[in-house]
Amino acid sequence: MRTHNLAVIGGDGIGPEVTACALTAMKVAADRFGFELRTTDFDLGSEAYLRTGEALPAVVAEQLRAFDAIVLGAVGDPRVDPGVLERGLIVALRTLFHQSVNIRPVRLYPGVVSPVTAVTADNCDLVILRENTEGIYTGGGVMVKDGTPDAIAIQHSITTVPATSEIVEFGFRMASARRKRLTLCHKKNVLLYTGRLWQEIVDQIAERYPDVEHDYVHADAMCQHLILDPGRFDVVVTPNLFGDIISDLGAVVQGGLGVAASANFNVFGSAPSMYEPVHGSAPDIAGTGRANPTAAVLSAALCLAGLGEREAALTLEAAAASVLAEGGDKAGQQVDTAEVSARIAARVAEIDVPTA
Ligand code: NAD
Ligand code: IPM
Ligand code: MN
């Protein structure tokens, strides 16, 4: 029997709650499609950090490397300084495992009512591809005259040809298999060096994809276009920070953070990819049983696709979409976690297997 070894990091807040739902749905799919999922839980996140003083011990990172994929809930806790877990665990894993392409689909499923009025299932189906290891996220920098009124914070931003080319190439390949349009989202009117490099790489790679049209949108203007006219986009490639920001906006456009999925993808397969919802640990609703598990389930579908389980992936997505369709304008918002989870799992077992 085909077997996939999954490392599971539930994490903090609603992370473990939604991850449990995703695993339940995945296991139903595994039974239906005849493969085995072996899961191993990793105790990482705020509790482990507060106990040990380490966000990601080196020995644990090496254990994670051996898995076929990582499923992550979310991390972040008010008791821990901002960045300790976010950088120390999530950004660290993305970098360590060379997960350079962060795939963040923005799709309004039929029946879901977007809080943004002009958006319908017919004009909202795009994918944000966020460079996931560089830009201003690399973490380098220095504080000059720290603690004085003259303090200066210097935060480095790094853009390299290999990482940028990897995501742009991935973007053109994806666009070529979709609606054949790629948009570069940047601020090249202000960030002259990095903007020029991104644009040059897009222009060069575009020559090998004559069937794909490409254009350019500034990141600030993107915030308007995504809301008023998401239909003009197919695949959007963008640096790390802009991708972080516009994907939360994309989440709202598609119904709410409760439905926005993501894959941190290693295009070479040289280390595990990691699948997680776009949302965070949501401490404001943790423990209330109101977290929407759909984003985690749709991320699990991306995970199954990454593992080569195409039919199972499509079925998981269809099951989540079919339950979403019953939620209307509340589909992406807070729900009864246990109830939605049970409905998705039941549907994974019985829904027709999508053909495309
Ligand atoms: P958040 O995404 O956790 O929450 C933002 C808002 O959306 C909250 O009101 C929350 O209740 C709501 N929300 C989020 N997910 C939901 C769901 N599944 N169902 C229903 N409502 C949902 O962002 P935040 O509050 O800015 O951050 C909280 C913590 O999470 C911080 O420590 C932050 O650094 C961290 N964070 C982690 C990740 C990650 O682990 N991948 C991502 C983003 C934020
Ligand atoms: C996300 C989150 C992360 C990011 C944090 C938690 C490191 O906001 O996955 O969108 O900024 O990339
Ligand atoms: Mn984010």
Q: What is the pLDDT of residue 51?
A: 97
Say if 1-104+260-356 and 125-253 have the same CATH topology: yes
Question: What confidence tier does 74 reach under pLDDT thresholds 50, 70, 90?
Answer: very high
Strand bridging mode 69-74 / 273-277: parallel
Amino acid code (one letter) for 178: R
Average pLDDT over residues 188-200: 98
Q: Tabulate helix, strand, coil % of the chain (nearest 5).
A: 45, 20, 35
Rounded to an integer, what distance in angstroms lies between the CA atom of residue 322 and that of residue 126?
19
User: Which entry of 49, 109, 137, 275 is annotated as an active-site residue?
Assistant: 137
Residue 58 has pLDDT above 90, yes or no: yes
Is the predicted pLDDT of residue 117 greater than 80, yes or no?
Answer: no
Contact 6, 38 (CB under 8 A): yes
How large a percentage of the chain has pLDDT more than 70?
Answer: 100
Q: Ligand 2: which of 244, 252, 274, 281 to mutate, most ligand atoms within 8 Å of CB?
A: 244
ipTM: 0.98
Residue closest via CA to ligand 1's atom 17 equals 258
Q: Tell me if residue 275 is catalytic.
A: no
Options 1.10.260.40, 3.40.50.2300, 3.40.720.10, 3.40.718.10; which CATH number does 125-253 get?
3.40.718.10
User: Which tens digit of pLDDT belongs to each residue from 199-253?
Assistant: 999 999 999 999 999 999 999 999 999 999 999 999 999 999 999 999 999 999 9
CB atoms within 10 A of CB 43: 12
Determine whether 244 is an active site residue: yes
- The CATH homologous superfamily for domain 1-104+260-356 is Isopropylmalate Dehydrogenase (3.40.718.10)
In 3D space, the residue among 193, 188, 201, 205 whose CA is nearest the CA of residue 242 turns out to be 188
pLDDT at position 356 over 80: no
Tell me the domain boundaries of the chain: 1-104+260-356, 125-253
Q: Name residue 226's amino acid.
A: L
Write down the pLDDT at residue 259. Answer: 96
pLDDT of residue 331: 84
Mean pLDDT of the chain: 96
Cβ neighbour number for residue 203 with a 10 Å cutoff: 12
**Beta carbon of 284 within 6 Å of any ligand 1 atom:** yes
What's the confidence (pLDDT) of residue 59?
A: 97
pLDDT of the residue at 2 = 96
Cα–Cα distance between 348 and 298 in angstroms, integer?
A: 12
